[in-house]
Every structure is written in structure tokens, then in C-alpha cells.
Structure 1
Amino acid sequence: MQEMLKRRQDETEVGCSVSLMAWSSSAKENDGGGSGGGGAGDEGTKKRESSEVEGHPYDFHVSGPRNLSSPNWKDLIRSSWRDPNYKRMVIACFIQAVYLLELDRQEKRTEENGLAPKWWKPFKYKVTQTLIDDRDGSIYGAILEWDRYAAFSEFIVVRPSGAPRAVLALRGTILKSPTIRRDLEDDLRFLAWESLKGSVRFTGALAALRSAVDRFGSSNVSVGGHSLGAGFALQVGKALAKEGVFVECHLFNPPSVSLAMSLKSVGEMAVSIWSRVRAALPTRSGEGGLIEKNAEARAVKIQCTEISKWVPHLYVNNSDYICCYYSDPSGPSGPEVARDGGGLVKAGASEGAATTAKLFVMSNGPKKFLEAHGLQQWWSDDMELKLALNHSNLINRQLRSLYAVPVAAAKMR
């Protein structure tokens, strides 16, 4: 009995010694081998931080796309960027990078140990400008440009066909204390007015987009946003389209709910009724009025033809009540809106109305709201998208101002 107790005591002591040795060894590695190892200690800290980042839920290798290839020399022959699905997934990754740029800033991570760079480096892009809200110092957007030096390392001597020279990526709302106030302020702005033009972020995003277009040309620039960022992307893209400058636009879960939308619907219905009543009344203008109407119709037709090059892409999950109304065919439409049964939306008062939007709806996406509103679903491997077959009056309302030509302008034409 005594012999058995002694054996167990020896085993316990050995086990304790091994544990202490392992802890001591680990401590030495983390502390750089004891006193006088300051540099090695810094290196150990960096390794530990790097390991923590690689295991982070938002790390590219943890939550990023699984089967999305990086550019290589084969893209010179057959560019992946020609595939609409590839382009959609990469731009979604760039928007995720902007979310993480702000989170890295809040958590004081640098470019060396940050989460964000891993979301653009695999595609041979680099951030050349961050858009900062001066009110709270938060990052709400970024300009990403093709990194030719990084591309050279993969023997990519020229930019693949279809790859934009620059992408403006805009994030949505982050519900964390450093940025939540300004984010919600713009959310409420859209909810109340269905417009973001009064925001300093609209001004900053539009200026950044103009600068990129001036440098590279509109055909080499894209803009993308998620949620609130999609609202900004739509409005800055529309602002340039009014000037005859058309940039590729990708909108993920764009906001569709607003109080102003309901008020506009009532107003449009009243205008429509009054227009019918007025048309039934006798008029003294006679031939002159008819000429004026024809002139205005011709002006609208010309403008519609000019704007036909701008086709924003909207990506919607119907389980997300923030964006689902884009795929809802109900609601009044203005007299200038024409219908197209091919899943594309047309607007204009004449036969020359131009295709103005492509609405993609996820057919097998997540059903719970938080996941349905998330960005990650848009680079999922097993996702299925379909071009919406119904007519969207909400898109018509959002884009109608592109086709509105003042009567004075019509007379001048």
C-alpha cells in the first residue's frame, strides 16, 4: 500500500514538472527568452497578434470566399473579370474590406496585423484613399486601385480585361459606439427623406468618385456599396449619370424603406388623377399646347437614349425587409414609366425609354433577417441568383429624376 501511494506521488510530481516546464518554455518564447530580449519579445508579440488575426471570424481565410481564384497569367488570355459572378464577389470583398478598415482603426490594428488588407491583396489591388467622416474620424469608404507591382509578382504584365482601374467601396452601418451615432444619423436621413444628399459622406463619396473618373475614365471605374453604403453608391452614381458620366454600379442590400416613399406614393396618385382630369377638360392652348408636349416628349426621348449606358446592378434577398421592396411590383408608378417584361426596368415617357437597372434576387439565400441582410451571402459558393421578372416601381421612383426634363429645356430643344 505504501509502495502504491509513493508511486502515485512520484507520477504527480513528474506531471507537475512537465506542465511547469511547458509553461516556462512558452513564457520564454513570448518574452523573447528573458531579460535583454526586447527585440525578440516584440517579434513574439507580433507572431501572437498575427495568429489571433488569422483565427478571427472576419479573417479572409475564415469567412472569405472559398473557390475564388486570385489573378494569374492565365487571366491575360481569359479574364476572370469577364464573369459577372466573379466581379460581384470581388467587389463584395472590397466592401467587406472597408468595414474591416474601420474595425481595424477602432481596435488599433496596423496594416501589418490588420484584417482588412487580406480582403484586397489576393486580387492584386491596393487602397490609395480612405474616406473619413471628419465628425467622428470613422472610415466609411475607400478607393481601391489595380496594383501593377503586386501583379508583376504573379507574371501579370497588364491588367486583365474587365478589371476596373479603380473601385469606390462604401460600407454600411456598424453598430459600435465609435461610429454608431453618425451611421444611424444617415440611416434616419434616408428613412425620413429617401435621400442622402445632405450628408457629408455623400459629398465626400461623390468627390472621390469624380476624382477617380478624371484620372482613369468612367469606363475604368466602378462603385459598390452595402446597405447604407449601397444607398450612397446609388445616389453618387446617379449624380454623375445626370451629367452624362456613367460608372458601373453594384448595390448589395440597398435600403428601400422610407417614410418619404409612402408620401410620394400618395402624391403621385393625386398627380396621376389630376392629370387625367385635366386631360379631359377643354383647353385654349390648342395646337400650341400640343407642340409643347411633343417637344417635351422628344427631349425626354433624347435624354433616355443618352442615359441608356448606365445600368446599376441591385442584389436583393427577399427575406431582408430593408431591401425587399425593390422586388415588390406593387405601388403607383408615374405616367412617365414604361414597363418591360424581361426583368429589366425601363423609364421614360416615350418609346425611346432606356434600360435603367438590373435587379438580381437570391433564390436560395438565408431566411433569417440578420443573415439575409449580411454581405457574406454575396460571395457564397452555393448561391443562386435570378434576374427578377417582375416590374419594380421602386426602382422607377429612385431613377425617375434621371429622365425628368424641365419644360424650359424641352422648349430650347
Structure 2
Amino acid sequence: MVCYIAPSNVYQYRADLVNGCLFGLLNSSKIENQVSNSKNFDGILSEREIFELSGPSHLTSIDWTNPDHRRSVAACMVQGVYILERDRQENRQASEALAPPWWNFFQFDLHSQLIDDADSCIFGAIYKSKHPPSPHTPSYVVAFRGTLTKGNAFSRDLELDIHIIKNGLHQTSRFEIAMQAVRNLVGSQTSKSNIWLTGHSLGSAMALLAGKRMAKTGIFLDSYLFNPPFFSAPLENIKDPNIKHGIRIASSFLTAGLAVAAKIKNASQQRNMPEDSFLALAGWAPCLYVNPMDHICSEYIGYFEHRKKMEEIGAGGIERLATQHSISGVFLNAIGKESHEPLHLLPSANLTINLTPAVDFKDAHGIHQWWRCDQQLETRVYS
């Protein structure tokens, strides 16, 4: 089933934005001190590191039932991890550190940092709310950053990016550290519903994989995934809708056919069917945030929308089978070789698309777009 939610009203925060501007003026001396003390002030990049200059300071009052507020907070928590690592690289400590406002503003404490065992970089963080538990407020947020192109973290991040392309992220030590942290946190809490997972790009792949692992055990964690990687042929870049739709239909029939053939061939040996694993995720609907101009994540748009089109032409059954597999995976299984489940295979999701024109790819892929209040967003619910 798919339903549409009207695009966000880009003016809904106008009054709050005025308050945010006043907040910024009252704190101008603090901003100036941060800029002058920063060892890495190089224009736009450093401005985006400083919460008072680029963060959603207009959100002086959080409505935790408001999906836009939840999105903004989750994105800021991810930005906090980015800046934690930049603070480490630049040796910015105490009053010079730029990361704390990204979680302090929303009344969270830094509970712990997640450190990569290969290069000692900070790739994740666990935040703890300062407020008593409530039905809608997260008690903990587990956040993962994406690839940093500056500093000594880049080579390790790039290595992880390659593992995502090869569907091998689950085999990396960084993911094992992340997964163990999530398991330990979940195990220590009586209420699992107050734990959030969030991440951006590479970090969203980490959060998605961790969320899928937990969902398969029956624990559904609220997940906010920004620009999640979806590596496949870039069909969304095809302008002609008929050609694009035709390719997707052919791909669905081919994938479904290979899946049936592999299932028949391996019926006597196969015990844990991919279909069972896929259906176990049906009750979990992570929030995915994508930009059509970002080729790293834009295929999610076609992936989910194609299901609706297949239902309309009477091929819903074919698509339901095809969407549980990838062509490469079923082909490898058919010839008796091991394959790993691609990250993007999901039965349900709340997909939010940023329809605001992006300046370039960097703008379309950036985390900053997701806490801004001037974006034209459309949310589609798939189940």
C-alpha cells in the first residue's frame, strides 16, 4: 500500500525562525569567539560546523510528535558526530570544541563515542536525553556519520564505502563495533521504543544494517536514515518515463524468474530462505530521506514507486517476489555461489523526498538540508 502526505509547508516555521534570529543575535559574542578560536575556519565549511551559524536554532521548542522536528533533531545528532571527529582531528578541546551545541541544544548529553579500531577515528555516538522518559521523546539516540573527505579518517571511510558497494559492510570491524553498541544499549533498556537509530550516507548504511538486524529479532527501532546508499544502475537519471519503466519491468521479471529457478534448484539444501528474512522486516518502517539529484540514494524513489506501477498493470505478485532479491544475488545463488543481501531490500519505509532544487551534487547529498525549514518535502508511506 502507498499513500501520499502533502508536501511540507515551507513557511510553517516563520515565527520560530524570527525567534531563532533573535537567539543568534543574543549569542553573537559566543559565535565570534568560536570563529576566532577555530583552527580550521575556511569559510562555508567552518560555518556549517558552528551550530549558532547554521543549525536549526529556530527550534526553541521541540514537538516530538512532529515528524519535521524529529527529522531536524536526528540530522543534528548526525552532524554532531561529524564535528566530534573534526574536533578530534583539529585538537579542538574544551571551549574550542564545536560539537557539543549540536546535541546540547536539544537537551541531550554525550553518553559515549564509537571509535574505529583501525584508525581510532570517531564514527558514531550515543546520546542520552536529559529529560525523563516519555512516549514520544527518545531516551537514547545512536548516530553514525558518513564519509569525511578531510583528515586522516578518509582512507578508512573510503574502504567502508567500497564494502557497501560489495554488500560486505556486515563483515567489517567498524560495523561489528556499531552492532555490539546497539545490542548492549537495547539489552539495557526495558523500553525499546525510546531508542533511535540515525545516520548519513555511509552512516545511514550502518544504521540501516543495524536496524535490519534488530528487526529480524522482533525489535523495531525508530530509524532516521539520510541519503542512504543504493548502488545500482542509475535508472532514475533516465528522462523518458516509458523507457525507465520498461527497464524496471524487464528487470522485475528477470529477477523473479531467477529467484524461482534458484529456489527450485536449492529446495533440498536451502533452509533459511531470503523470503523469510525479507518478510521478517515487514513490521519495521524506517524513515528514508533522499534527494532526486543525489545519485547515491535516488534509486530508492524508483525502487518503491515501481511496486505501485506493477500493481497497476496486474503484476504485483511478480514484483513482490522480485523486490525481495537482487539480480546479482539470485544469479550467484543459482550457480551455487554465496551472495550477501543488499542493504536496500526493504518491504516497508516512510520515504521523504526533497524536491527543492539543489545547487550541485554536494548540496543534494549534504546532511545540512535535512534540518532546514525552507525545503519542499514530500513523504510517501510504503507498506
1:235 maps to 2:209: yes
Distance 2:259 2:212 in 1: 28
CA displacement at 1:133 relative to structure 2:
0.6
Distance 2:259 2:180 in 1: 39
Gaps of 5+ in 1: 1-45, 72-79, 149-157, 282-288, 397-413
Q: Which amino acid aligns with 2:194?
A: N
Distance 1:340 1:160 in 2: 40
Gaps of 5+ in 2: 1-29, 236-248, 322-345
What's 1:272 paired with? 256
What's 1:143 paired with? 126
Distance 1:356 1:315 in 2: 14
Q: Which amino acid aligns with 1:317?
A: N
Q: Which amino acid aligns with 1:369?
A: F
What's 1:316 paired with? 290
Distance 2:184 2:309 in 1: 35
Which of 168, 184, 204 aligns to 1:211? It is: 184
Distance 2:60 2:209 in 1: 32
1:81–1:160 contact (8 Å) kept in structure 2: no
Q: Which amino acid aligns with 2:125?
A: A
Which of 195, 202, 208 aligns to 2:175? It is: 202
What's 2:52 paired with? 61
Distance 1:303 1:328 in 2: 19
Aligned positions of 1:13-412 closer than 5 A:
50=34, 52=36, 56-57=46-47, 58-70=49-61, 80-148=63-131, 158-191=132-165, 193-216=166-189, 217-258=191-232, 270=254, 272-273=256-257, 304=279, 307-329=281-303, 356-388=348-380
2:74–2:198 contact (8 Å) kept in structure 1: yes
**Which SS does the other structure have where 2:350 is aligned?**
strand
4+ residue segments displaced more than 6 Å: 265-268, 275-279, 299-303, 330-333, 337-341
CA displacement at 1:145 relative to structure 2:
0.6
Higher relative contact order (CA 8 A, sep 6+): 2
**Which SS does the other structure have where 1:244 is aligned?**
coil
**CA spacing shift, 1:276–1:258, aligned 2, 3 Å:** closer
**Which SS does the other structure have where 1:211 is aligned?**
helix
CA displacement at 1:307 relative to structure 2:
4.2
**Which SS does the other structure have where 1:376 is aligned?**
helix
1:82–1:161 contact (8 Å) kept in structure 2: no
CA displacement at 1:387 relative to structure 2:
2.2
Distance 2:304 2:61 in 1: 42
Q: Which amino acid aligns with 1:196?
A: L
* 1:305-331 CA distance string (max 9 Å, x none): x64431111000001111111112499
CA displacement at 1:256 relative to structure 2:
1.1
- Asked which structure has the greater CA Rg, the reply is 1
Q: What do you get for the CA RMSD once the two structures are aligned?
A: 4.0
Distance 1:382 1:332 in 2: 29
TM-score in terms of structure 2 length: 0.67
* 1:167-192 CA distance string (max 9 Å, x none): 1000000012411110000111112x
**CA spacing shift, 1:131–1:340, aligned 2, 3 Å:** farther
2:51–2:57 contact (8 Å) kept in structure 1: no
Distance 2:261 2:275 in 1: 23
CA displacement at 1:109 relative to structure 2:
1.1
